[in-house]
Chain A
Amino acid sequence: MPATAAPAAVKGDRRTCVSTLDRRSRRVTRLEKDEKRLVELARSGNVDAFGEIYECHSPGVYNLVYRMLGNREDAEDVKQEVFIRVHRALGSFKGDARFSTWLYRIAANVCLDHIRRRKPTVSSEVLKEESQWEAPDGGASGDPQRQLDSKLTQEAVQAALQIMPPHYRILMVLRHIEGLSYEEISQVLGCPVTSLNVRLHRAREAFRKAVEPLLPTDEESDSGLQKGPETHLAVY
């Protein structure tokens, strides 16, 4: 009797799903409680507590900042600036949103502020600066052609992000690199979720137009011809 068996299976799956979600949400809640306690301690002047917060969030913030700026030195400086501002503003954190969302909001603001102040450069040198990688030696680490493709794709993505307007770039980084949900992005950027759909669509279109000419085509990959970000690009 498939008509009765199917609901039972669905019910069972759902129960498993719910229990998994419960476990996950309990873990998240525990982490958030720990984080809340750390924030309270850091707010009261405990440097070690702030150090723990730093160690926990530093890689994420650095990744976000690096993808926004495309330069390791700038990213290191801006990341430090972000945490200095976080330390200064800990007293104003009300706990309405998650701490990481609040932190990303500060990081996004510092990044956009840095980009505004920085003069736009028209050169591919900035892009080449980051492409300090060694050519695959064809060792045991895998297919060299695949490695090369992967490396070129990474360069193409970073180059495409750099030629995008910053307000689109931050959307792409938050959504596709940091993996934030629509609600979290709206909290980070302070915009309503309803308008986020349209903005994200435009950002994706801008990214597609920027990255398409830079991505290696299938024919190029097969023939060994590679197309990197050699063209002169306006970098924001």
Chain B
Amino acid sequence: MDCKRVQKLISLYTDGLLPERKRADAEAHLGACPSCAAQHKRMLRALDSFTVLERVSPRPGGWERLRDRLEAREQPSIVPAWRRAWGWAAAGAAVAAVLGLALLFGPNADRTAERAPAPVAPERGFVTLNPDASLPGTVVVPDSGPGSSADPSAVPTGPAGSALSGTQTAAASASSVRPKRASGNPRTVSAKPGRDVRSGAGQAGPGSLAHVPGMEPDPESAAHVELADAHEGVGDAAADLVSSGLSPLVAAARADADPVEWLYDIRTEDWL
């Protein structure tokens, strides 16, 4: 038995819990190795100091004090009722505030665009396939032109029956899903296939590309893309949660429980 092995077993040896054979081996090693023997001796001396410890006794009258406290807890009172209600109200307000902030600043804020009425197609607008784009799910978001709607995020993304053609609808639907900037102008964004469960991204198969020339880019839309890029760091687990309709903050919290972990760990007692 070498020193390392003895060090591992020394606690069991000290407590007399080693099997006889191992105990004999350890004893033989301690007899032959001055270093281990000295260390063991020092350990025994330190542990011997526990033998002089006296047990401390609690103050008398402890049960009477405890019984008073227990009885006080069992007595019904008006104050705890409103305090409890106040605790629940405060917890609800905190949850609402966090969810509101998440909805306000998250990338899903563009859901308003999805709900907006479909704009009339520009007079000279047309839809073409982008020959440069070869990746599946890669779409070209149409730029706003003069006289068109000021908000390009209002590109129709609704279900079939929208004013645009099926290809355009599918492409726009894909663009609403966690867009990632891939190039400058025209802004080519890619969406991971299979991530969208809301707007039927499955229709946007390979080659479903659209381009509407003559529309000016909108800074608000660019900001939206940057915001979406910022949420790329959330991670795949959070991304899945985002695509299932959760706001990114909540999704991030569920993925790695970091930003609002305290929210789930709140106990009602802590509010009282």
Contact = CB atoms under 8 A, between A and B. Distances in A.
Interface stretch (A79-87, A95-103, A120-128): A79-87
B11 A59 contact: no
A150 B46 contact: no
Interface in A202-216: 204-205, 207-208, 211-212, 215
A63 B54 CA distance: 10
Contacts of B57: 59, 62
A156 B15 CA distance: 23
B59 A76 contact: yes
Contact of B66 (A72, A75, A80, A201): A80
The dominant DSSP class at the B interface is helix
A79 B47 CA distance: 26
A215 B49 contact: yes
Given A59-B57, A62-B57, A197-B12, A80 B65 contact: yes
B63 A55 contact: yes
Contacts of B58: 58-59, 62, 75-76, 79
A216 B63 CA distance: 39
Contacts of A154: 52-54
B124 interface: no
Contact of B56 (A62, A80, A153, A156): A62
Interface range for A: 35 or more
A51 B70 CA distance: 11
B237 interface: no
A177 interface: yes
A197 B63 CA distance: 37
Interface string B1-22: 0000001111110110100000
- The contact size tier of chain B is 20 to 34
A156 B47 CA distance: 12
A150 B62 CA distance: 29
Nearest to B73: A84
Contact of A51 (B8, B12, B56, B67): B67
B240 to A, nearest CB: 33
26 contacts: A50-B70, A58-B58, A58-B62, A59-B55, A72-B56, A75-B58, A76-B62, A79-B58, A150-B52, A153-B49, A153-B52, A154-B52, A157-B49, A157-B52, A177-B50, A177-B53, A197-B8, A197-B9, A197-B11, A197-B12, A201-B11, A207-B47, A208-B43, A211-B46, A212-B46, A215-B45
Given A54-B66, A63-B56, A201-B7, 17 more contacts: A50-B70, A51-B63, A62-B57, A72-B56, A75-B56, A79-B62, A80-B62, A150-B52, A153-B52, A157-B49, A177-B50, A182-B15, A197-B8, A198-B11, A204-B47, A207-B46, A208-B46
Ranked nearest first, the 8 interchain pairs of A and B with the lowest CB-CB distance are: A62-B58, A201-B11, A208-B46, A176-B50, A150-B52, A153-B52, A200-B11, A157-B49
